[in-house]
Amino acid sequence: MKVYIYKDCWDKIINYAKAAYSSEKAEIGGMAVVTKDKDGDWLIENPQIVTQEIAGTTCDLDKEELAKYYTEMAVKYKDNDFRFCWWHSHHTMGAFWSGTDLSSIDEYGEGESDLSFALVVNLKQEYKCRVSVWKPVEVHQDVELEVIRDIDEIDVPIEIMTEVKAKCRTRKFNTVMNRNTKQLSLTSHSWYNGRGMANDYKLLEDDCMTIKPTDAESATFEAKWEYAMNKTTEYIRNVNLGNWSMHKYKSAISHTNVQLEPYGIQIEKLNKKDLKEFIEMNSEPYELIVCTDPKYADTAETLIDYACYNASYGGYVL
């Protein structure tokens, strides 16, 4: 038995991992369907993410969203011999099965499944792929995953960045002092969403006088804004290191601005003198991100405040 995955599906999983780490320095997980061909081999396809809580070393998929996913895929693939593959990322760590991973895999053996697949990847595109047979005898084996239809590597698509921001919320922590031991500890809480706003937050009456973006629109704008930040950092760094000419720098910004224009975001293009001064003054990339749609002015201001706070602790390095 062999296990395959098409290059576009493999790239999608890797890009989910890159987006989660770029945005939140966190792991991310999802599901895929594995279909059986006439030769008895298996093809991993249609990788997806569902709503989840992510952190540096964990990702917890929402149970209700998972149930909905299983139902939808059962209808879509009802004419195929198929199983499910749970996948997740280890970002900068090695690709290995942690104790938590093995416990998650074991959950599939507690149900009706006779066969399941698991995949862990990292940003270096290292992986482990496990086939688990649950019936009639339990057997686990790590196998080679063959990636087929090779194509050139691409940047993380902006759509992937948007989907990750929309479906993943970062686990937040409170610092708590134990009165007896005087020790500080971290406790997690989940009443904040990925943008740092309480889920039960209510807009003030004055806020309702102007057009406000929906949660989905705000998530999309935030993803595009972070995409612009990453690109700006990349472009300036290449000029600073002598890898790029000013012509290439300006062309790259022009190309990116075409992508960002529908979302009310633009990257300011500096001339050679201003760019040199910008770098010498240790300015931050967010200073060059311009919000062109008043609808997202408050969202942009919040993102700038957040970036400014991060910059005070090291921030982006040009």
Residue 164 pLDDT class (50, 70, 90 cuts): confident
Q: How confident is the model at residue 11 (pLDDT cuts 50, 70, 90)?
A: very high
Q: Helix or strand or coil: residue 128?
A: strand
Query: Who wins on pLDDT, 180 or 68?
Result: 68
Using alpha carbons, list the distances in angstroms from residue 61 to 29, 53, 54. Answer: 7, 7, 9
Most confident of 65-69, 210-214, 244-248, 313-317: 65-69
Q: Is the pLDDT of residue 54 over 50?
A: yes
What mean pLDDT do residues 105-134 have?
A: 92
Give the separation between CA 290 and CA 72, rounded to whole angstroms: 40
Comparing CA positions, the residue from 140, 114, 144, 116 lying closest to residue 128 is 144
The SS3 of residue 93 is coil
Q: Based on the number of CB atoms within 10 Å of its own CB, is 184 exposed (0-12), middle (13-18) or buried (19 or more)? A: exposed
Report how far residue 49's alpha carbon sits from residue 52's, in angstroms, rounded to the nearest whole number: 8
Number of C-alpha atoms within 13 angstroms, CB side, residue 150?
Answer: 1
Give the other-Cβ count within 10 Å of 153's Cβ: 8
Cβ burial of 207 (10 Å; 0-12, 13-18, 19+) is: exposed
pLDDT tier at 177 (50, 70, 90 boundaries)? very low
Output the DSSP codes for 47-58: EE--SEEE-SS-
d(CA 236, CA 104): 42
Find the mean pLDDT for residues 164-180: 60
Question: At 196, phi and psi to the nearest 5?
Answer: 80, 15
CB distance 51 to 81 below 8 Å: no
- Over residues 211-238, the pLDDT tens digits come to 788 888 888 899 999 899 999 999 999 8
CA distances (Å), 263 to each of 92, 225, 269, in order? Answer: 31, 9, 18
Higher pLDDT, 197 or 109: 109
Section 150-173 average pLDDT:
68
Can you list the domains of the chain with their CATH numbers?
3-165 (3.40.140.10), 203-311 (no CATH)
Q: What is the DSSP letter of 188?
A: E
Q: pLDDT value at position 176?
A: 43
Task: Output the six-digit token pair for 158.
Answer: 């902006």
Residues pairing with 147 in the sheet? 5
pLDDT at 208 over 90: no
User: Which uninterrupted H or E stretch holds 170?
Assistant: strand 168-170
Count of CB atoms situated within 10 Å of the CB of 117: 23
Checking DSSP bridges between strand 3-6 and strand 59-61, what pairing results, if any? unpaired
pLDDT above 60: residue 189:
no
**pLDDT tens, 236-263?**
998 988 888 888 898 889 889 988 998 9
Q: How far apart are CA 72 and CA 75, in angstroms?
A: 5
pLDDT at residue 316 in the model = 47
pLDDT-derived band at 184 (thresholds 50, 70, 90) equals very low
Using pLDDT thresholds of 50, 70 and 90, give the confidence band for residue 155: low
- How far apart (Å, rounded) are the C-alpha atoms in residues 40 and 45? 16
Mean pLDDT (the chain) is 82
Tell me how far apart the alpha carbons of residues 86 and 127 are, in angstroms, rounded to a whole number. 13
Say yes or no to pLDDT of 185 above 50. no
Q: What pLDDT does residue 172 have?
A: 52
pLDDT recorded at residue 210: 56
Tell me phi and psi for residue 192, to 5 degrees.
Answer: -105, 140
